[in-house]
Amino acid sequence: MALPADFTFSDPFNPTPNPALISDEARIQFWGDQARARLTWGVPFTEENTHSFKKPVSLGLDADGVEQFTIPKIKWFEGGKLNVAYNCVDRHVEAGRGNKTALLFEGEPGDREAISYAELQKRVAKATHGLEKLGVAKGDRVVIYLPVIPETIIFTLACARIGAIHSLVFGGFSAEALRFRVEDTGAKVLITTDGQNRRGSVVPVKVNADDACTGENKIEHIIVVDRTAGTAEARASVPWAQDRDVWYHELIANVPDTHEAPLHDAEDPLFIIYTSGTTGKPKGLVHTMGGYLTQTAYTHALLYDLLPDVEGEDGTRRPDELSTVNDPAKVESAVHWCTADLAWVTAHTYEIYGPLVNGVTEVIYEGTPNTPTFERHFEILERYKVTNYYTAPTLIRSLMGAFPQGPQAGKFDFSSIKLLGSVGESINPEAWHWLYTHIGGNNASFIDTWWQSETGSTVCSPRPHDPQFAPAGTYPDGAPRTSLKPGCATRAVPGISTRVVDEKGDPVETGTQGFIVVDKIGPSMARTVWGNPQRYLDSYWKHYGERGWFLAGDGAKQDAEGDTYILGRIDDVINISGHRLSTIEIESALITHETVIEAGVCPIEDELTGHQAVAFVTLSKAGNTLSTQELKTVLSEHIRHEIGPIAKPKDVVAVADIPKTRSGKITRRLLSQLYEGKALGDRSSLQNEEALDAIARVIAAH
Ligand code: ATP
Ligand code: MG
């Protein structure tokens, strides 16, 4: 597709104009073109997009006396029929690319397997027959409670093939967390393993699945993948319910390895994804087939540099952002590694559906990054010649803690790496620089992708670039144009747009904190909250209902160039004497101090000023030599210097561990509750619940 006539190459990372900003028609046309060109449709769609999210209209009171409103309805590519699994696997085989490696799997104990697209096609066919044998049909829910192993992807695609709605649950979740998802989805089948490899040992997991299914639920069968038993004898000791449970290898022993893919409507649900639960009880968001896969395919190609290059008048080259096709040479050479657990939305989009729909090779790794040592990721990057390394700030910070000066000089070869990516939280500039320097060799693209379970795919991100071709010149602040902006998610990808606005929806001034909204959404936006459409309305659409904007729930600010910095949750914003401060900014400043490894800052109510900030920090060796009072003094002074006196924390509490969700996000709401001695809210998503008790003890003795 040709670039618009007024397209300029002014900024190598953030081109303008974004087609979303040209007109609504152009934007919808853009997505229609992407959908037609990138996906294989059994029946073409007739209508690109219909929305109805004007001001919600009251429907009166419900039985509990709560006023009900009309819920926004979003539809993309109506009339179209497709099969998502066919698009991710079969069509590549039919195109003669069956020998291309789809998955490079590495297990935690070191077992490895390369799976081609042709092999993946067979395994998905078998798993599909297996599910069908158990009566799984279109619209049924299937909960997939597995670690990062090929079967997780295979079952996900098998569900998509049938049209059964999958919901992946992190393999490290407890029976309670699993129970909530089994019951909330009303799943018919649960898939699990006998045991899991975790930090060098084998832990039983089937027992969690059994526990999760003891209450009221609709589970008819549990499929068990033998991941750790290995022999008939060992399998015999796995707890078993004869009529309900079935071994995966027995289920598929005699089924064919081909399967005719049925067609589904573009708006049929594909999956339910539960949010990380950072701000409260997780929400089960529903994503649909055609829209989700379109935006996933496009953004994966855009952000991971699969689009063909075009040359500008000044000789610079950059990816053609509006291309509806990929560059075959780029697809051939990419080795993608998204380190997220497959159950997170990050992995759904950029580890399951994105890489596969685009036909690239990707690495999946079962274990934790520090098993057996913290060098595991470095080894994987080198072994598979990874080109794209997409990970999370929490992981980068822990690598940085283990290797402050980077990996041992000369020990690993990272020359294959072309692109680094971060997602999940704002990345503090320290961690950004560490990754850029020590893994990226000061010479890689860096995409800081801001998005959510709700948006289904990346909303804001810098674009990949070839440093060789980046144009000269400077930003208004004097920084060279070839430099990226650490910790900045920059701006919306083509086809959607965002604004940073105040409570009323008016734009905020440059540098001032406001709310980020998606004012023009794309086809991968979640359609509802499973079983709770009212929560969908209340959480996202009601606030700016009249304008039809999606309230993301994060604070943000823009710089003079219109680039957006994400400043954390609205709920976490600290309002001190009318000054709105971002927890993330204070945390980022704390981490630059030599005494601090990690920081979690939370708002505490204050009669005089509204809020005060309290900082929880984990300490480096240097920090451990200081007394509580000394620490408070040096860190308060540091914050005063870095941000200003208004941001000085009321208190600094040194702790061993900061509470985080399973996806690595700091749960600041729990820090506030702990400090204020209030009842603790939902804890089901925590990875380190024990940190709460430890912190409570520290506070009591503080
Ligand atoms: P809940 O909605 O239940 O509180 P959650 O918002 O943590 O949970 P996710 O959808 O997994 O659940 O996470 C999305 C959120 O993660 C974003 O709203 C944002 O706060 C944060 N986030 C993700 N990527 C980035 C990024 N690159 N920069 C800053 N924040 C990010
Ligand atoms: Mg959220």
- Residue 426 Cα, ligand 1 centroid: separation in angstroms? 9
Tokens of 285: 């968001």
Cα 187 from Cα 168, distance rounded (Å): 11
431 lines ligand 1 (CB under 6 A): no
pLDDT tens, residue by residue, 8-49: 434 545 555 566 667 888 889 999 999 999 999 999 999 999
Go through the chain and tell me how many residues it has: 702
**Cis-peptide into 372, omega within 30 deg:** yes
Query: Ligand 1: which residue has its CA nearest to atom 26?
Result: 450
- How far is ligand 2, taken at its centre, from the CA of residue 279, in Å? 7
Contact criterion met (CB below 8 Å) for 50 and 356: no
Number of Cβ within a 10 Å radius of residue 294: 30
> CA nearest 653: which of 580, 602, 577, 581?
602
* CA separation for the pair 602, 595 (Å, rounded): 19
Structural tokens at position 160: 């998509």
| Amino acid 278: pLDDT | 83
Per-residue pLDDT, 10: 43
Could you tell me if the CB of 423 is within 6 A of ligand 1?
A: yes
Q: Which ligand approaches the C-alpha of residue 274 most closely?
A: 1
Q: What is the pLDDT of residue 2?
A: 40
Cβ(86)–Cβ(40) below 8 Å: yes
List the one residue out of 10, 17, 16 whose CA is nearest residue 481: 10
Closest ligand to Cα 280: 1
* pLDDT score recorded for residue 622: 87
Which atom of ligand 1 has the smallest separation from the CA of 569? 20
Do the beta carbons of residue 571 and residue 539 sit within 8 Å? no
Q: Which atom of ligand 1 is nearest to the CA of 489?
A: 27
Collect the ranges in the chain with pLDDT lower than 50. Answer: 1-10, 12, 471, 473-477, 479-482
Burial class (CB in 10 A: 0-12, 13-18, 19+), 66: exposed
Is the CB of 448 within 6 Å of ligand 1? yes
Residue nearest ligand 1's atom 30 by CA: 425
53: helix, strand or coil = coil
pLDDT at 54: 61
First to last CA, the chain: 63
Distance 429 CA to ligand 2 centre (A): 23
List the chain domain ranges.
Answer: 119-265, 578-701
Distance (Å) from CA 276 to ligand 2 centroid: 7
pLDDT value at position 157?
99
Q: DSSP alpha helices (H): ranges in 149-285?
A: 150-162, 175-185, 206-212, 232-235, 248-251
**Matching residue, tokens 């990138």:** 38
Counting runs of H as helices and runs of E as strands, what totals does the chain give? 23, 34
Query: Which atom of ligand 1 is nearest the CA belonging to 685?
Result: 3
Domains 119-265 and 578-701 alike in fold:
no
Ligand 1 pocket test target in 450, 460, 660 with most atoms within 8 Å of CB: 450
Nearest ligand to the CA of 341 is: 1
CATH of 578-701, one of 3.30.230.10, 3.40.50.20, 3.30.470.30, 3.30.300.30: 3.30.300.30
pLDDT in the model for residue 467: 61
Give the contacts of 523 (CB within 8 A, at least 6 positions apart).
31, 35, 49, 76, 77, 290, 291, 292, 294, 295
For the entire predicted model, the pTM comes to 0.91
What beta strand segments (E) does 53-126 contain? Answer: 58-61, 67-69, 73-78, 81-82, 101-106, 112-116
Class of the 119-265 domain? alpha beta
